[in-house]
Amino acid sequence: MSASFENLLYRLDVASGILTLTINRPTKLNALNAATIAEIDAAMEQALDEPQVRGIIITGSGEKAFVAGADIAELAALTPAQAARASERGQEAFCRIEESTKPVVAAVNGFALGGGCELAMACHMRIASENARFGQPEVNLGLPPGYGGTQRLPQLIGKGKAIELLLTADMVKADEALRLGLVNHVVPQSELLPFCEQVLTKILGKAPLAVGLVLDCVNAHYAKDTDGYATEARAFGQAFESDDFKEGTTAFVEKRPAVFTGK
């Protein structure tokens, strides 16, 4: 199953429930312009509303770039007010990814710079090919990051190292990104998508409701004016009402694999 977008490939494997979203602007190294960000947001909204979609992979077309940054020519033409709105729009789109109750994995297949790094960080996990490169080079243009980079990078790798990378605009190779905790795994380019599918398939074998509640609880820790522990307690109680909880505990006692329905 697929949907039609101009700058995005939307491919759903109905058998597995895995949707692959591919940023498809190869002549621009998949750089993010306003239209592409809008399509990512629309595709995520569609995916979250589609019951057949159970997990999502976000990647870039080709073998050089995941997303090599924002479309600088488009940015340069903006007024300050338009730039602030563009930042807010990108943040909104990437927050939709982060707040998804369906697991989202970034398959980083090359350069993930600027908005590309920010897109990858909005995903729940990042799996990189060996040629992947990460960075927030916005200060080279006289800008701070605009799509959440100043907020998510410190969460993932710690404040001190994040500030260093944000202020120096240094690029990080895949092995260093793994050491820093910016990515979960590094694999050969040819194994990237199969490995992401393998990770998602393992997750999709768990109780869907519980998976979504875990994502909600983790995000609550970082949300403003939200008590993560209270969110966890509510989620724990909510899960007790589910058919999946009854199935999971029954299967454990009966020493058989659980068959979850997401209810």
pLDDT band at 2 (very low <50, low <70, confident <90, very high): low
In this structure, what are the phi and psi dihedrals at residue 135, rounded to the nearest 5 degrees? 180, 160
Query: Hey, how many other C-beta atoms are within 10 angstroms of the C-beta on 11?
Result: 13
Model confidence pLDDT, tens digit, residues 187-245: 999 999 999 999 999 999 999 999 999 999 999 988 877 888 898 899 889 898 999 98
Does the structure show a pLDDT above 80 at 15? yes
Q: What are the catalytic residues?
A: 118, 138
Are 2-204 and 208-254 the same fold in CATH?
no
How far is the C-alpha of 71 from the C-alpha of 29, rounded, in Å?
10
Domain boundaries of the chain, sorted by first residue:
2-204, 208-254
Average pLDDT on 181-189 reads: 98
pLDDT digits over 93-132, tens only? 999 999 999 999 999 999 999 999 999 999 999 999 999 9
The third-level CATH classification (topology) of the domain covering 2-204 is 2-enoyl-CoA Hydratase; Chain A, domain 1 (3.90.226)
Question: Residue 10 — very low, low, confident or very high, per pLDDT cuts 50/70/90?
Answer: very high
Domain 208-254 of CATH type 1.10.150: no
Please state, rounded to an integer, the average pLDDT across all residues of the chain: 94
d(CA 20, CA 14): 11
Question: pLDDT tens-digit profile of 165-178?
Answer: 999 999 999 999 99
Q: Is the pLDDT of residue 1 over 80?
A: no
